[in-house]
Structure 1
Amino acid sequence: MSQPTLTPPSFEQHPTGLGIGFPEPRISWRFDATEGTAANWQQTAYEIEVGRGDNTQSYTVKSAESALAPWPTQPLQSREVAKARVRAYGGPGNETTEWSAWSTVEAGLFDRKDWSARAITTPVKQKEGPLRPVRFRKTFTLSSGAVSRARLYITSLGVFQAYINGEPVGDHCMAPGWTSYCNRLNYEVFDVASLLRDGENTIAVEVSEGWWATRLGFHGGRRFIYGDELALFAQLEVTPEQGDALVVATESSWKSHQSAILRSEIYDGELYDAREEQDGWKSSPFALESSWDATREIEFPDTQLVAPNAPPVRVTELVNPIEIIHTPSGKVIVDFGQNLVGRVRIHSLKKPAGHSTVLTHAEILENKELGTRPLRVAKCQDEVISAGQEIRDWVPRFTFHGFRYVQVDGWSPDDADFPLTLQSLVAEVMHTDLKRSGWFNCSHPMVNKLHQNATWGMRGNFLSVPTDCPQRDERLGWTGDLQIFAPSASFLYNTAGMLSDWLQDFSAEQLAHPKAIPPLVVPNVIDESFWPTFPQAVWDDIAVILPWTLYQCYGDINILRHQYASSIGWLDRGVQRGPDRLWDDTLFQLGDWLDPTAPPDQPGNARTDGTLVADAYLVYITGIQARISSILGETADATRYESDYKALKSRFQTKYISPTGLLIGDTQTALSLAIVFDLHDDPQQAAAAGDRLARLVRISKFQVSTGFAGTPVITHALTKSGHHQLAYRMLQESNCPSWMYPIRMGATTVWERWDSMLPDGSINPGEMTSFNHYALGSIINWLHKTVAGVSPLEPGWRQILVKPLPGGTVTSAEAKYDTPYGRLESSWVVKDGDQFKLELVVPPNSSAKVVLPGNQKEEKIVGSGRYTFTATYNSQVGWPPKAQVPPMFAPGDTFV
C-alpha cells in the first residue's frame, strides 16, 4: 500500500507564516490526494524537524493528530525565523511517509519595545472632515553590498499604501483593515528586500481615512469615531550580508504633503485631482521634495498592536463589463453583469484640464435608470478631475463599492476624441483573500445559481470584517447575520483566521460592558443615543454559537478557550431573564427579523413571537455552553450549565409546547426551531411537530414564511422530521417569496429581503433594501449537509458523516471540501429511476460514516480511500408534493 504525500506544514490559522503573532505556533499538515488516497491509512506518530539558524532538531511524537499539533521546541522570539518539515508514521506496516517540503515561519514583533517608530502626521491639524489623504516619504542610503533581509513593519491611523523606490509594497488593499481600534490595531509585515538597491532609496506611504476617521453609521453617521488625525507608524529594518543593520523608522524627519486625492471615504467614494499630482513622489530622487512639509510626532494610541491571523483584503478577480446602456434620461451606464464588491479601474482616460469624470455605483436598475435609493445617503461616487494629459490605469485607492452598474458622467461612447468603450473599464473584485475550501454542484442549474449567488454574497461581505451589506451607508459587522451564515461560510472558505480575529474584537467590546452585553455590530460604531445597547437573542447568542461553529469546522479548542469569558459572560450576566430564568418577555426582540409578511417599514413585525424565538435559542445555547465547559475541563461550569439546560428546556416545554407536541406559536419558524434544537423530549411529540410543520408548508404553497431565525433551520427541520421532499419543494419554488424568485428576477447575489425587487421590477419601498446580503443564503448549508450529504461527525472533520438524501428533480450532486486532513470528495447520481450510486474519497488520517438513502438504519464505517456504494432508492417517491389549498383555488406547479 502506498503512503500518502504530506503537504508543507502550516502554522496556526495563519495564511503564510510571515509575521506570525504566536511565539509557539501550532503546526498542521494535510495529506495530498492528487495521486490517489492510501486505503485505511491512519497516522500513529509524526516526526517534526525544526531548523533555527544553523541548528536543526528532530522531535518524534506518538500521536494521530495532524492538525494543530503543539510547537515542539522553545518559543520564538520577535523577528525570529524558523523552518519546519514533517513526516508521518502509519499504515499496516507503520512505515514513514516521505518528508514534506520545508515551510518557513517568521515571528512578528511581540512587544511594544520592539518598535522604535513614532507616529507621525501632518504639521497642522485639519479641523474638519473628510480628512484629505496624506503622503509621507523618507530617503535613506544603503551602502554597497547585498541585502540579507529587509522587513517593513507598518500600520496607520487610517488605511495605507506603501511604496519603495516607486514600487508598491505588497498587494494588500485597505490595510491594515478594520478592527476595534481602541482595543486592537493590526500591523502588516512585508518582505521588501527585492525592492531595495545600492545607494539612495525612498520609502513613501499614502494614508487615507479608511474606517479610522470617516463617517460611519446610520442617518449620515458619525465622523472621527476613533480619531481625528491621520498618522503613519512604520519601521523598515534592513540587514545586509555584511555590515551594520539599518532601521528607518517614522519620526519627525520624514516629509509630508497633501495627496492628489482630495478625499476618500468608505460611503461616498474618492475624488482624485490629477492637477494636484506630483509625479515621482514615490521614487528617489524627487525634485519637489523641498516643497514638502515637515511632520509632527503624536502619541500613539494605547491599543494592542496585533499581527493578524486573517489574510489581507486583495483584488482577487477582474470582471469585464458586458454592456453599455443608454438610459431614457440620456445617462450612460456600464453593466458588469455581476453584483460585486470592489472598485473600477479606468485603463485610459484623456480629457481637458479641469474636466470631471464621475463614476456612480449601484446594484440595480429601476425604470431603466440607476437605482440609487437603496444606498440611502451614501454617494458611492468616484471622481477624476483631469489635468489635460492621459491618465492610465487609475483606480480609487482607499474605498470600495457594492455594485453591478456604474453610471459614467462626463465620458460617453459618443465622444469624438476619446470614446468610452467596453475596453475602457474593468471591475476589480475585492475581499478578504480567504482560501476557498468547499464546492457544491448538482444537476439543477438554478440550484447551482443559488449556491453561486450565496458565494458571491459572502465574498462581497467578508471585507476585513463580516458585514451585512457592502453598498449603502452601513457595511457593519452585524452579529445576527454572521451567526446564521457562519456554517455556510466556513464550508465555502477557510474562515478560521478571520473569524477568530473578529471574535477577539467581539469579546473585547462585549466584556467592556458592565453586564457583558455584546454590541449588535462589531466593531461597534452605532451611537448609543440612536440605538442603545440592550440584550438580544439570536444576535448576541453568537457569543456562544460562533466559537462552537468554528470548533466544529476546524477542531481548534483554543477558539473555545479564548472566547470562554465571552460566552459565559453572555449567559451569566447579559441575558435579561424573567422569573422562570427564560427571557424577560417585556424586552423587545428582533426575533424572526424580515419575516416576508412584515411591512416594508416594519421588518421586525414577524408572525413568530420574538420571545419564543429568544427562549428557544436560550435553551439551545445553554446546552452548547455545557458541552464547551466540559471540553475545556471546566467541570463545575459544565454541571451547572447542564442542570440549567434541563431546567430551561422543561420550562420551555411547559410554556410553549402542548401535550400533543404542537407549539403555541404555530408558525414555521417556531416549529422548526423546536425540531432542530431538540426541544421535545417525547419522540411522538417531535413527530407531531414535524407533521404540523409539513402541513403549514403545504398551506403556504411552499413559499418561504420565515425570516432570520427560521430560514437557516426550516429545511433541516423538514428533513429531520421525515419530510425532505417538502424541503426540496420549498427550495425549487419560484414564486415570491422563495429562494428561486430572485434568480428568476436576474439576481446574481442573495438579497436582504425576499422581495428586494418587486415582481414589476421596482425596488422594495422599505428604507432597508439591499441586493447583497448573505443571511438568507444560509440555505446552502442544507445543500452541503443534506443534498450533497457531507458534514463533520466530530469537530474538525476527523470523522465525517456522508448521508446524502436525493429528492425533488435533483438527480445528481457533488461536494468537495478541503478538511484539515485533506480533500474530501463525494458525488452521487440516481439513474434509471431508482439506481443510486455514490462515489466517495476519504482523506488519509480520517474516516467516514456512510448512510445510504433508503437504508437510514444501515451504517458503513470506512477509513481513507476511494469507494463506490450502490443502493436501490427511488428519489421520486412523494414528488411533487401538493399544496394544501381549497380545490377550486388549487394552483399549478410553479417549481423550477
Structure 2
Amino acid sequence: MTTGPTTAVEITKVEYRGDSRYSPTPTPRLTWTTRSSAGGWLQAWAELECAGEVVRVDGRDSVHVDWPFAPLAPRETRRVRVRVAGEDGGVSDWSDARAIEAGFLGDGEWTARMIGLRAPERVAHPGLFRTTFAVREGLARATLYSTAQGVYEVSLNGSDVDDETLKPGWTAYQWRLIHESLDVTALLAPGPNAIGIRLSGGWFCERYGFGEAAVPFYGAQPSAALMLVLDYADGTTQTVSTDGTWRAQPHGPTIDAGIYAGQHDDLRLAEPGWDTASFDDAGWEPAAVVDGAVTPIPRSAPPVRRVDALPVLARTTAPSGETVLDFGQNISGRLRISADLPAGTKVVIRHAEVLAPDGELERASMGHADTTDSFIAPGGSFTWEPSHTFRGFRYAGISGWAGSPDDAAFTAVAVSSDLERTGWFDSSHELVNRFHESVVWGMRDNFVSLPTDCPQRDERLGWTGDIMWFSPTAATLFDVDGFLANWLGDLAAEQTDDGVVIPFVVPSPLPAVATAFTSPAAAWGDAATVVPAVLHERYGDRGILERQYASMTAWVDRIASIAGPSRLWKGGFQFGDWLDPFSPPEFPTEAKADAELVATAYFFQSARLLAEMAAAIGRRADADRYTALAAEIKAAFGAEYVTRGGRVASEAQTAYALAIVFGLAEDEETRQRMGDHLAALVRESGFHIGTGFAGTPFLTEALTATGHLLAADRMITQTECPSWLYPLTMGATTVWEAWDALRPDGSINPRAVSFNHYAFGSVVDWLYRVVAGIGPAEPGYRTIEIAPVPLPSFDHVSATHRTPYGDASVRWRREGDSVRISADVPANTTAVVRLPDGTAPFTIGSGAHEWTVDLVVGHPRVERLSLKTGLADIMEDPGAYAAVLGALDAHVPRVGQALRTHHTRWRRGEPLEVSIFVMPPRVRAAIDAELAEYRPSAG
C-alpha cells in the first residue's frame, strides 16, 4: 500500500513573536507554516479553531493573518489550532493547539505606583525593594506585570521570575514605557510570600552627549513599578502593587551601576534571603512614591537575554602588570566570574576591543565611557556577574586578584535581544565566510534593546541612518520584524511637535545635538520610510505600514516643502556620504560624493517607496500623488546631475551606485552607461572601496545590476585597505566603523572609532540576494526570486533563509564550464527563477529543484607581463596584479606600497612603466626581466 503526500502545519508566530505566549493586543495576527512532501503545494483554505469556533480563511494567506475571533480580554487565555487544505485537495491534520494569553491590561487597570529611594545619596543610586503578601488557597493563576524607569529584576520567594536582563530595555521613556507580562503561578505557595526588585539607573539615568557636554536627560533616579494579579478558582482577584508601603534598602551590594561607567559591587553587603517572606526588614526604610511616568504598554519585541558564553582563549600579562584575557571574539556583554577569594579582595575589570602594540588595553575606542567593573569579594566561593550594565569588548584586564587567576574562573557572557536566526551563508571563499560571521556578531552586539551604532563607548545610540542602511541585512540574518516595529514606535513618538523632523538618534536624548541641527538630514531621516518598507518587503507586514503611515508622509512632505518646485534638496546640514575613505578623520562629512546629490537621491527613494507603500495599504490617491512626486524628483536629478553620456556629477562611487540602484537613470541605456562608468571608477581605484555609509550598501549591487560581475567580485574579495575583508586580515571579528580603524601599520585611527559597528556590513544582503541568489519577489517571500550570480572567485555558494513560510535555500557549484544550481522552495510559495545563462525567467512551485547551465566563469588573464602592459589589464587579472606587486616589492617596496592604495589610478591605456618612470634604468630593467618570467596559472 502506498501513502500520499504528507502535510503538517504549525502556528509559528503570534503577532510579532514566536517565543512567547503573550499577546500585546486583543486581536493578534497569526502566522502558520506548512510543510508538505507534495511538490508545488499551495494553500486553498485554512481553518482556525478556538473554543469550539471554527473560522475559514480562503486563499493562500498564512502570514500576519488577522485575528478572526472575538478579542481577547485581559489575562484571558485561548488555545488556537489550524488546519490547511491544498489546492490538490488534501487536508492536513489539526496543528497542536497554541496557547495565546493576553499580555495587556484593560483601560485604567494599571494602578501600580512607581517607587524609588526616599533619600538617594547620589545620582542613579541603586536600591533593593521588597514587600510580603499572603496567598490564599485555591490560586488559579498569578500574572506579573512589571516595568521600570531604569534597569530592574524581579524575584519571588528567592527565585528570579525570568532569565531576561536589562529589563525593560530602552525606549523613549517620556512617551513609551514597556511592561513585561509573565505567569508566575509556579513561584507562589499558599501562605506568606515575598517579592523583591533589584533596581539601578540603566539608560534612564545615564548622561547623554559627547565628552564634557554629556548631561542627564530622563531623570536622576531610577524607579520601578509592578502589579501581581492573583486570580483564584472562586472567581475573586487579589492585586499586589508597588506603593508607599514597600520597604527599600539603599545600601545593598550594588554600589553603583551605569550603562557607560560599569557596575561596582561590595558583595559583603549582600543580605541572604532578602526577597523571602521570613526575612526581617526592620532595618530597611519606606520606599518613596514617584510620579510622572507614562502608563506602560505591553512588550511586543523579544527581550534581551544572555545569548552566548565564551571561555578564555588566551592570556597575557601587560607591561603594567595587568592580566589581560582574550576571549577571541568582540561581543556585547560582561564577565561572569566564579572564584574563591579572601573577604575584602577588590578585583577591578577593565574592557577593550583591541590591544595597543605594547599589549596594554587600547581604550581610545571607548570614548569617555569608563566601562570598568569591580567587586569586593565576600569571602569563600561565589559567582558574580554585573547584570545591570554591558559593554563591547574582546579583551578584559584583571587587577587586584589574590594570587594568579585561573582562566576557568572567567566567562564572557554575550547579551543581545533574543532574536530568531533566519539567515545562513557559506561559500568556497573562507575570508568572505568569516566576514559574514563578523556581521552576524556585530548585529547581535548592536541589537541590545534597540539598534545601536556601537556597544562600547559613551554613545550606543539608535542612529537612524545606520539601521536604515542595515535593515535589509538585519532582516536576512534574524527575525527583526517585532524588534524594528517597536523601535519605529519610538521614531514616530520622537518626531518633532509638527510631526516632521526626525532626530538623528532614536530614542533622542541629545538636546545639544538637536539644538545644533534643527533641519532634517537625508538618509538619517529616511529611516522613517525605508525601515517600514523593508519590514513589509521581508515579512509581508502591512500592519507596520498602517501604524507608521503618518510618520512616513510627514517626512516626505517636509522634504518636498524644503526642495520646493525645483525638487532638488539643497542647503542645510547634511551628513552626506559619512565616513567615506577620502574624508579626513576630523571632518567625516567631507566625502567625495556631493552631499546635495546624495540628499536628492534619498528624497527620490523615500518618495518612490512611499508611493508603493500607500498602494499596498489601499491609499490609491496618495500612491498616485507620491508616484508623481518621485517622477518630478527623478527628472530634476537627471537635469541637474546626469550628462547625456551617463556621467554623474561628482565622480564618486556613491553617486553612481545611488543613481543605478535607486532607479534615477532616465532609461536603460543611460543606466548601463552609469554602470560602465562605475566599473571604470572602481577598477581605476584598484578595486578599493570609495564609499561611506550612504553608498556602501549599493556599490556591488550597482555593479552586478549592470553586468560588471568581475568588478563586483574583485570588490568583495579585496583584502587591501580599504575593503570589506581588510579588517579580517588585521584580526577583526566584527565590522569596523571606519575602513581604517586599525591601520596597516598597526596604529589606530586618531578618531575614536568603534571596532564593532554594523553599517558597512550592509553588503551581506547582496551576498544572499545576488551572489547566492535568494530574495523576495513579493512581500513576505510569498513569491521568491532565485537568481544566482556566480562570481569567478567562488567555486561554490549556498544560502538558506527562514522566510515567514519556511526555509528557502539556494546552492550553486562550478563544475568545469558548467554551474549546477539547486534550490528548495517552501510550501505555499512559488519562485521566479532567473538562471545566469540568460534563460528566460520561469516560475516553479515548492519542493526541491536543480538545474545545470553552461557558464564559463573566470577572470580575464594577461598572458605575458612587461613594463608595457597596461595598468587596467594588470588590475583586472588577480594573478598579474600579484606578480607586479611581487616584483615591485623586491626592487622598490615603496612603489609597491603606493600602488596598493586607493590613490593609484589604474587607467586603461596607460602602461605600467609610467608608474615607475622615475626609477633608475637598471631598476626598471630588473623589474621588466622579472615580469617576463610570469606565466598565468592554470584555471
Paired residue for 1:816? 800
Which secondary structure does the structure 2 equivalent of 1:344 belong to?
strand
2:783 aligns with 799
Q: Residue 121 of structure 1: CA displacement?
A: 1.9
Aligned amino acid, residue 316 of structure 1 = V
Preserved contact between residue 569 and residue 600 of structure 2 (Cα < 8 Å): no
Tell me, in whole angstroms, the C-alpha distance in 1 between the residues paired with 2:499 and 2:290.
Answer: 35
Cα deviation, 1:478-499, whole Å, max 9, x if unaligned, reads 0111011000000100000010
Structure 2 matches for 1:584-623, cutoff 5 A? 584-623=569-608
Tell me the residue number matched to 1:872: 854
Match of 1:825 in 2: 809
Distance 1:881 1:451, change over 3 A: same
CA distance in 2, matches of 1:514, 1:180: 18
Letter in 2 for 1:309: S
Check whether the contact 1:132–1:261 (CA below 8 A) recurs between aligned residues.
no
1:645-670: CA deviations, max 9, x gaps?
Answer: 11111111000000111112211111
Residue 553 of structure 2 aligns to a residue whose secondary structure is helix
User: Which of 150, 164, 172 pairs up with 2:164?
Assistant: 172
Partner of 2:689: 704
Structure 2 match to 1:250:
242
Alignment of 1:48-59 (within 5 A): 48-51=48-51, 56-59=52-55
TM-score by length of 2: 0.90
Map of 1:81 onto structure 2: 77
How far 1:546 sits from its partner (Å)? 0.8
Q: How many Å separate the matches in 1 of 2:217 and 2:559? A: 25
Which amino acid counterpart does residue 104 of structure 1 have in structure 2? A
Query: Take 1:380 and 1:576, find their aligned partners in 2: how far apart are those partners?
Result: 44
Match of 2:443 in 1: 458
SS in 1 for 2:665: coil
Q: 1:281 aligns with which of 264, 267, 274?
A: 274
- Which residue of structure 2 aligns with residue 449 of structure 1? 434
- Provide runs of 4+ in structure 1 moved above 6 Å: 890-893
Change in Cα spacing, 1:630 to 1:243, as seen in structure 2 (3 Å) is closer
What SS class does the counterpart of residue 852 from structure 1 fall into? Answer: coil
Aligned residues of 1:834 and 1:874 also touching (Cα < 8 A)? yes
Confirm whether residue 755 of structure 1 aligns to residue 748 of structure 2.
no
What are the Cα deviations for residues 92-116 of structure 1, in whole angstroms up to 9, with x where unaligned?
2x12111111111111234351123
Structure 2 match to 1:492? 477
Radius of gyration: which is bigger? 2
CA 1:205–1:629 in 2, change beyond 3 Å: closer, same or farther? same
Residues of 1 paired with 2:270 and 2:377: CA distance?
10
Q: Distance in 2 between matches of 1:796 and 1:9?
A: 14
Tell which deviates more after alignment, 8-17 or 257-266.
8-17
For residues 500-519 of structure 1, the aligned pairs below 5 Å read 500-510=485-495, 512-514=496-498, 516-519=500-503
Q: 2:91 aligns with which of 87, 91, 96?
A: 96
Kept after mapping to 2: 8 A contact 1:576/1:584:
no
Shift in CA distance, 702/471, structure 1 to aligned 2, threshold 3 Å = same
Local SS of the residue matching 2:683: helix
**How far apart are the structure 2 equivalents of 1:150 and 1:31?**
35
Contact 2:209 2:512 in 1 (8 A): no
Query: 1:603–1:9: structure 2 CA closer, same or farther, 3 Å change rule?
Result: closer
Distance in structure 2 (CA, Å) of the matches to 1:578 and 1:558: 30
Any idea what SS the aligned residue of 1:178 has? coil
Aligned residue identity for 2:129 = F
Deviates more, 1:578-587 or 1:251-260: 578-587
Residue pair 2:559, 2:569 contacting (<8 A) in 1 also? no
Change (3 A) 1:411 1:582: farther
Match of residue 360 from structure 1: 350
State which of 253, 258, 273 in structure 2 corresponds to 1:260. 253
Instruction: Work out the percentage of aligned pairs sharing the same amino acid.
Output: 37
Q: Does 1:31 align with 2:15?
A: no
CA distance in 1, matches of 2:120, 2:314: 45
Aligned-partner Cα distance in 2 for 1:588–1:153? 44
Alpha-carbon contact 1:793-1:801 (below 8 Å) kept? yes
Q: Report Cα offsets for 1:448-507 as digits up to 9, x if no partner.
A: 000000010000000000000000000000011101100000010000001001001101
Q: CA deviation at 1:30?
A: 0.7
Aligned-partner Cα distance in 2 for 1:654–1:282: 71
- Matching residue of 2:43: 43
Contact 2:7 2:91 in 1 (8 A): no
Distance 1:796 1:549 in 2: 10
Aligned to 2:394: 404
Give the match for residue 238 of structure 1. Answer: 230
Contact 2:774 2:809 in 1 (8 A): no
Matched, 1:648 2:633: yes
Which stretch shifts more, 867-876 or 700-709?
867-876
Q: Which residue number in structure 1 is paired with residue 323 of structure 2?
A: 332
**Gapped regions of structure 1 (runs ≥ 5):** none
8 Å Cα contact 2:567/2:632 also seen in 1: no
Q: Please tell me whether the aligned partners of residues 164 and 203 of structure 1 are also in contact (alpha carbons under 8 angstroms).
A: yes
SS of aligned partner of 1:203: strand
> Which structure is higher in helix share?
2
Q: Take 2:130 and 2:198, find their aligned partners in 1: how far apart are those partners? A: 9
The equivalent residue for 2:133 is 140
Return the offset for 1:213: 1.1
Q: Counterpart amino acid of 2:605?
A: Y
Of 841, 844, 853, which aligns to 1:862?
844
User: Against the structure 1 CA distance between its residues 548 and 669, is the aligned structure 2 distance closer, same or farther, given a 3 Å change threshold?
Assistant: same
Matched, 1:742 2:736: no
- The TM-score normalised by the length of structure 1 is 0.94
1:247 Cα offset (Å):
1.7
Shift of 1:40: 0.7
Conserved 8 A contact 2:568-2:636: no
Answering whether residue 735 of structure 2 is matched by residue 776 of structure 1, we say no
2: CA distance between counterparts of 1:68 and 1:596? 42
**Matches for 1:167-316 after TM superposition, within 5 Å:** 167-220=159-212, 222-241=214-233, 244-258=236-250, 259-287=252-280, 289-301=281-293, 303-316=294-307
Q: Give yes or no for contact 1:9–1:102 (8 Å, CA) kept in 2.
A: no
User: Residue 8 of structure 1 corresponds to which residue in structure 2?
Assistant: 11
1:409-558 to structure 2, matched below 5 A, reads: 409-411=399-401, 415=403, 419-510=404-495, 512-514=496-498, 516-528=500-512, 531-558=516-543
1:860 deviation in Å? 2.4
Number of equivalenced pairs: 871
Q: CA deviation at 1:391?
A: 4.8
Alpha-carbon shift at residue 239 of structure 1 (Å): 2.5
Amino acid at match of 1:226: Y
RMSD between aligned alpha carbons? 2.0
Match of 1:673 among 641, 658, 661: 658
Is the Cα–Cα contact under 8 Å of residues 43 and 90 in structure 1 kept in the other structure? Answer: yes
Distance in 2 (alpha carbons) for counterparts of 1:843 and 1:198: 50
